[in-house]
Structure 1
Amino acid sequence: MNRTRNLLDEALDLNNDNKGSRVVVIEDCVETSGAFVIHHLIKRNLSLPSSLIVFVAFSQPFSHYERILRKLGCNLVMQRENGRFHFLDMLSMQCPDGEEDKLCEGGLVSLYGKIQKAVEVSSSTEGNKNSVTIMIDDISLMEVAANGSSNHALDFLHYCLTLTSDFGCTLVILSHEDVYSNMEKPMLMLQMEYLADVLIKAEPLATGLATDVHGQVSLLIYFLTVVNRGRYEKGSLKTKTSNFQFKIRDNNVECFYPGSQT
């Protein structure tokens, strides 16, 4: 494994054998996608024995992820057939209007039931409560699917949090921060940031987008901040903030410290 990949793993504290559940929140914007972190975590988790991913897709279809992960050397079709990658396609999901407190039948409640069942089955068969990761590729689109109901999305988020505490799952959430650029941060985003053990922000460079030219290929350089609130050092829980830049290549993402490359 090369140094580039280790840099992100170290910031996420993936190389340590930490026990217990974690909540990882990824915030990006139109100018800078943070989806590469999702792709990285999918490949890494599926490379581990006895692991399971329950992927909730509000943003992209299975073919999108299958194509990207194939470039990274991971066969999602095979992993899905083996029961290690559960893909829940929610792109066409809609919830009816209404002021009822309960979520709509066939909507988020049904979705949670599928996630819960997959987690419970994995826990009973594998005997390893730390092996399940729940991923949501765009929780801001969940609000759209629920006709703008932040309460529904919040309820769903808290239901998933009960799975992390009960079964030791990891919850990974991607959200587009600039969806709310014209308003104060909504309760959903504030709750996610508050609950996050690891908060990741992908942003354009403050001085504008720089370019790294290799022959005829021009690569845009972006900025990544990883705030790890659940890092154990010398027996105590500490917060570590990592700042570095990254550029996206055709089949990988290269992370590096500012000033380390020209």
Structure 2
Amino acid sequence: MGRSPLKWWLKTERGQLVFLEGLGSCLDVVFGQEQREEDVSDLRALFTFVQAALAPVDGDAWQGRVLLLDELGVLLSLGAAPVAVLDFVHYCRVAVCSRLQGNIVVLVHSNEDSGDKENELLVTALSHHSDLILWAEGLATGFCKDVHGQLKIIRRTSLRPGGERDSLQLYQYKIQERNVAFFARGMSAAVL
């Protein structure tokens, strides 16, 4: 499969993170102990789990919630259909963005050469509905000791009424021991 475990995080206004074990919870919900008549591709029970986790506890009025979905493609590996995964993201978006005035961040790996049509469909659909896309990739020219890859930042202003063209920013990066250094293309130590 080659995909990382599904991890979901909820960010609260006080800088705290609430961790939801997405893969374990997903397995419990989809392949629970009792026999379920619903199809594996039906993610309603998983959304109910996420919605319950988003519900504020007595006296806790979270504002600005951010739901981070780490490696959404794992749901495809578990047998969920791309349409069901997109429906799940849509319902999460309504719950977090519309009702709670928060945001959703989704990680999906993409490799055009992989031949995984379902994953590419998921990536394409999510890209069309996203306001901001961060696309990290290796260098097209190959290995370089001072530059490990390139980051494209696409701001989707065309989604808004009267929106202009989407803006694209390109940065290169080098992964260091405890952080990542970003710089404009052509400004790495190897070039200078």
Q: TM-score, normalised by structure 1?
A: 0.54
Aligned length: 172
Q: Relative CO higher for 1 or 2, CA cutoff 8 Å, sep ≥ 6?
A: 1
Post-superposition offset of 1:210: 1.0
Q: Who is 1:157 aligned against?
A: 89
Deviations 1:14-55 (A, max 9, x none): xxxxxxxxxxxxxxxx8xxxx9xxxxxx8xx96xx8256xxx
Distance 1:113 1:257 in 2: 43
Post-superposition offset of 1:250: 1.5
Residue of 133, 140, 144 corresponding to 1:210: 144
Post-superposition offset of 1:93: 3.8
For the structure 1 residues 88 and 230, does the alpha-carbon distance in structure 2 shift closer, same or farther, using more than 3 Å as the test?
farther
Pairwise CA RMSD: 3.6
Q: Who is 2:124 aligned against?
A: 190
Distance 1:98 1:210 in 2: 53
Residue of 178, 188, 191 corresponding to 1:261: 188
Q: Who is 1:166 aligned against?
A: 99
Distance 2:77 2:41 in 1: 17
Distance 1:137 1:100 in 2: 23
Q: Who is 1:247 aligned against?
A: 174
For the structure 1 residues 112 and 93, does the alpha-carbon distance in structure 2 shift closer, same or farther, using more than 3 Å as the test?
closer
Amino acid at match of 1:193: S
Deviations 1:95-147 (A, max 9, x none): 369885982xxxx433322322333317973263xx100011101111112x1
Post-superposition offset of 1:201: 0.8
Between the aligned residues of both structures, percent identity stands at: 22
For the structure 1 residues 102 and 201, does the alpha-carbon distance in structure 2 shift closer, same or farther, using more than 3 Å as the test?
closer
Q: TM-score, normalised by structure 2?
A: 0.72
Amino acid at match of 1:222: G
- Higher share of residues assigned helix: 1
Distance 2:183 2:81 in 1: 39
Q: Who is 2:67 aligned against?
A: 134
Residue of 109, 114, 117 corresponding to 2:52: 117
Q: Given the alignment of the two structures, is residue 175 of structure 1 paired with residue 108 of structure 2, yes or no?
A: yes
Amino acid at match of 1:244: Y
5+ residue gaps, structure 1 = 1-29, 36-41, 53-78, 213-219
- Higher share of residues assigned strand: 1
